A and B are shown apart, each in its own frame.
Chain A
Amino acid sequence: MTPLIEAEHLTRYYGQHCAVNDVSFTLTKGEVLGFLGANGAGKTTTMQMLCGNLAPSAGRININGFDLLDRPKAAKRNLGYLPDTPPLYKELSVQEFLLYCAQLHGVAKSAATKAIDRTKQRCGLTDVADRLIANLSKGFQQRVGIAQAILHNPEVIVLDEPTVGLDPIQIREIRALIRELGQDHGVILSTHILTEVQESCSHVQIIHQGRLILNETIAGLNRQMDTGTLQVATRLAPDVDSLMTIAGVSSIENISENRIKIHHSVTANPTEQIAERIINAGWGLLELTPVKRSMEDIFISLTQEHREL
């Protein structure tokens, strides 16, 4: 199966400033790829290059097998793009706007009405179809933006921060929609909200200062996140040196007198022995909690690691 997106060694300069530096990745059908990065990391630039809004300084992009530079029309036919600011003609009504988008993407007249109805339903726009876009709330405008991107049923859907400005219920709906779209399309989603990636994506990429520093599946990332930390609270102050002798414990951090953090390796999980040791010594075990590293931690540790390099 040909990958839906094949990006090779993408590089983009703005004058002297290098916004994206040698980024390569692929996307296949059924994947939802989360694109994470701090502000100004190069997320939007990468997405603009993928959608032909910006020419890369170097590198190659294939969309569903078509080179974006050599055969732009064929490549863009397989593409739906929601930029960070939804591109809406505010003086049109939702229905008119979607009809225009259908025409632009070469959807046949007979199929257009059906496609518009389906999209309106998917994005919850049926009730506001005849209202002017200018009069809609930001959340609804964002939905019209998403509708515009999925209207022509493209193979690849690129969404730049799709849940910005939505209320929590709408966010949940949109995330469900993204997961649903991910089943028979390839979706790229950029965000700086980490839980969003955890909830709706199958793969994750972290971009930092224009470089790709992580490319993992969510499952792989979750494995990484398990690298264990235990939080232990005891009635009496525990003997740290004695705990350190247990196999698998790599370091111990004192938080307060009765509370410590034990870092350990995942392969040899020493939790059981730690509990045994504390009870046998009579320190009074009050709490033993595995601390899951959140995606935030990974994100911060990865980006900081690279700052030091």
Chain B
Amino acid sequence: MILAIASREFKTLFLSPMAWTILAILQFILAFLFLTQVEAFTTLQPKLASIEGAPGLTDIIVPPLFGNAGIILLLVTPLLTMRLICEERRNKTLSLLLSAPVSTIDIILGKYLGILGLMLLIIALITLMPLSLLSGGELDLGKLFANILGLLLLVTAFSAVGLFMSCIAGHPTVAAMGTFGFLLLLWILDWSNGSSDQRSELFEYLSMLRHFQSIQSGLIGSVDVGYFVLFITTFIVLSIRSLDNDRLQK
């Protein structure tokens, strides 16, 4: 049941130009950034060779690429998730799901998995770029994996917030704005800690950027992974509750 909903969601994304456009633009921008990074590496290479323990190919190319991808996806995810529940409610198609023998949990998880399908595709396309370097060089595959995992956790968290906002908003644009605002806030929360004597541990913990960067550096710690898992679970549960609430009051 969940899979039926998820696969329809995934297919529908590709029925409109939306998914294709986003994939194309994303790939274009990131390819440009990737090439700039490769360029930087080739100019730096002679200098790096003379330094002991200098950062290698993976260090110079992969984290910036995935970091930029994270920021661009921060902008893109709200656009992809805004229609998930909101549009169904506006088009009155939600009653098809509500009167079918599926639970609210199935609906939410189905929708979520559908959008994650697209996210996985995006990440796969991004990963292809550094992998192409394997033809002429060597990569620190462990570090690459850490970056993939970091980005994956990041976008699943983005999508969870987007899904929730889509549940509570009356209009897709409102959902997109809400998601974007919330994510941006969490992203930059850490900036207020610029002066080190006024550090707030709570803000530091809440900041997404910090956890993402920590995983990106190759350090897959339970604190960071736990943060994302908690984050995703919270918003999925909130989404389920919010959709359930639809039946109770309107």
Contacts and interface: CB of A to CB of B under 8 A. Distances in A.
Contact of B103 (A72, A81, A87, A100): A72
Given A51-B99, A76-B99, A87-B96, A103 B247 contact: no
A278 to B, nearest CB: 60
B95 A73 contact: no
Contacts of A267: none
Contacts of B95: 48, 51, 53, 81, 83, 87
A48 B1 CA distance: 22
B15 interface: yes
Interface in B98-154: 98-103
A170 B100 CA distance: 27
B93 interface: yes
Interface centre among B92, B93, B95 (most CB of A within 10 A): B95
Interface in A74-131: 74, 76-77, 79, 81, 83, 85, 87-92, 100-101, 103-106
A52 interface: yes
Given A53-B247, A148-B96, A100 B101 contact: no
Given A88-B93, A91-B12, A53 B101 contact: no
A54 B250 contact: yes
Nearest to B4: A103
B247 A76 contact: no
Given A52-B247, A55-B247, A100-B8, A105 B93 contact: no
Interface string A144-183: 0000100000000000000000000000000000000000
A42 B166 CA distance: 29
Interface string B76-96: 000000000000000111111
Interface centre among A79, A92, A104 (most CB of B within 10 A): A104
Contacts of A103: 1, 4
A53 B249 CA distance: 11
B176 interface: no
Contacts of B48: none
B43 interface: no
A104 B100 contact: yes
A104 B16 contact: no
A73 B102 contact: yes
Interface string B234-250: 00000000000001111
Interface of B: 1, 4-5, 8, 12, 15-16, 91-103, 247-250
24 contacts: A51-B95, A52-B247, A53-B98, A53-B247, A54-B247, A54-B250, A55-B248, A72-B103, A73-B101, A76-B99, A77-B101, A79-B99, A81-B95, A87-B93, A88-B93, A89-B12, A91-B12, A91-B16, A92-B12, A100-B4, A104-B1, A104-B4, A104-B97, A106-B1
